[in-house]
Amino acid sequence: MSNTELDAVYLTFALASTTTVILLLLGTPLAWWLSRRTGNGVAAIEALVAVPLILPPTVLGFYLLILFAPGSALGQFWFWLTGSQLAFSFSALVIGSVVYSLPFVVQPLQAAFQRIPRETLQAAATLGAAPLDQFRSVVMPLSRRSFVIAGCLGFAHTVGEFGVVLMIGGNIPGETQVLSIALYDHVESLQFAQAHRLAAALVVFSLTLLFFIYRADRQSAWRLRS
């Protein structure tokens, strides 16, 4: 494998890991909030979270590109904060990926949280567990499986991202050139052997990850470690 390819592999995994961590941190409270409430406000937020599922990635990428531009408010704020430009940077890819993969993390978590009966949490409350304690000691263990699934889906979906990255990343090797873009590059320049290698690697990776997700899904919900 060439150096640029190794760079692309490293970059892809760095991007997917960072995105997954941020998504779990942001997605958990968001999913919890959505799971415990009803009303128009909630439906609006749910729609907003889900929109990357149906929107062409290029649309999202286009708007993000405009948002990240050096002349934009966010672009200037970023420059003031970090001293570097936001557009075509790794940070821009992370922000784009977080938005793009959000539904893949929020939706399984929300579904898991909704399955936890209010009654079980009431029981915890009467035993002296404050809300955060209830979340840590009851909600998290009961939705452990969904956390794994949400993390895997967020990770896998970020690895599989193309349109958004193409729009906001700018294909800079070692900075924003992820695997899917490197593959596209190889095909464009008719390097089919290299393209095959990357494509096959991505297929194997995706299948393996999905296999583990589905296997986890089939395992009984809260089997004890006995």
Minimum CB–partner distance for residue 39 and another protein (Å):
16
User: Cα(212)–Cα(125) distance, rounded to whole angstroms?
Assistant: 35
**Is 74 an interacting residue with respect to another protein (CB under 8 A)?**
no
To the nearest whole angstrom, how small is the minimum distance from the Cβ of residue 121 to another protein? 9
Under the binding rule (CB under 8 A), the answer on residue 136 touching another protein is: no
Residue 124 structure tokens? 């915890």
Residue 2: how many other CB atoms lie within 10 Å: 9
148 binds another protein (CB under 8 A): no
Q: Is 133 in the site for another protein (CB under 8 A)?
A: yes
Say which residues have a Cβ less than 8 Å from residue 19's Cβ, sequence separation at least 6. 94, 97, 98, 101, 154, 155, 158
* Choice from 71, 73, 119, 190 touching another protein (CB under 8 A): 119
51 binds another protein (CB under 8 A): no
Least distance (Å) between residue 149 CB and another protein:
17
Contact between 151 and 216 under an 8 Å Cβ cutoff? The reply is no
Residue 114 found at the interface with another protein (CB under 8 A):
no
Stretch that binds another protein, among 88-96, 135-143, 172-180, 191-199 (CB under 8 A): 135-143
Q: How deeply is 54 buried, as exposed, middle or buried, from its count of CB atoms within 10 A (0-12, 13-18, 19+)?
A: exposed
Q: Which of 26, 42, 66, 142 lies at the binding interface for another protein (CB under 8 A)?
A: 142
**From the list 2, 40, 128, 193, which residue makes contact with another protein (rule: CB under 8 A)?**
128
Q: Which of 161, 19, 16, 28 is nearest to 106 (CA)?
A: 28
- Rg over alpha carbons for the chain, rounded to the nearest Å, is 20
CA 7 – CA 17 distance, rounded (Å): 15
Candidates 47, 73, 190, 224: give the one binding another protein (CB under 8 A): 224
Least Cβ distance, residue 135 to another protein (angstroms): 12
- Which residue ranges make up the site for another protein (CB under 8 A)? 119-120, 122-131, 133, 137-138, 141-142, 221-222, 224, 226
